[in-house]
Amino acid sequence: MRCTHFQTHLKESGFTLLEAIVALTLLGLALIPMISFVSESASQLARVADNNERSFAVKAAVALLDPINPMENPQGEETIGKDLTVRWSSDITIPPNDGPQFGTGLAAFRVGFYNVRVSLIRDTDTWFEFDLRKIGYQRINSNPLFGG
C-alpha cells in the first residue's frame, strides 16, 4: 500500500512534458509583443538622437555661414570641431543690380540673391545637405558727402 501511495504522490507533483511545452509556448507568445515594443522603442530613440545631432549641426553651420557674403565668397569650406566640415557653394537666383538703385535705400550697393547649397561632411563622408537663401552685397558707390 505504501508503494501505490508513493507512486500517486509522484504523479501529482510537478508538470508533465506537455504542460511544460504549453506553458513555454504561452510565455513565448506573450513575450513577442513586448520584445517588438522594446525593439521599436530603441530604433525610435536612435532616430531621435540622430535628428537631434543633425539639428545641432545645422545650427552650427548656419551660425558659421551667417556672416559670409556669397557675392564675395561663393564657395568654401570650414571645419567645426574635430570631425565636421561645412562645405558650401552658391548659385545666383536673382542677379545683382548693375548700378545704383536710387529710392531703394541701398543706392550704394549691388545686391543679389543666392541659393547656398551646404554639405555637412563627417570624417570624409557627406552626412547630409541643405539649402540656405542668402543676400550677397557689394559696395559700388563711395560718396564723401554721406560718409562713404
Rounded mean pLDDT for each run of 10 residues along the chain, 148 residues in total? 54 78 90 90 93 94 95 94 93 85 71 95 92 91 52
pLDDT at 148: 47
Cβ 126 vs Cβ 120: under 8 Å: yes
**d(Cα 25, Cα 108) in Å, to the nearest integer?**
82
Domain span at 49: 2-146
pLDDT at 98: 78
Instruction: Find the largest Cα–Cα distance for the chain.
Output: 127
Task: Name every residue whose Cβ is closer than 8 Å to that of residue 142 and which is 6 or more positions away in sequence.
Answer: 108, 148
Cell of 140: 559700388
> Per the confidence metrics, is the pTM higher than 0.75?
no
Tally the domains of the chain: 1
Q: Rounded to the nearest 5°, which phi and psi values hold at 104? A: -100, -10
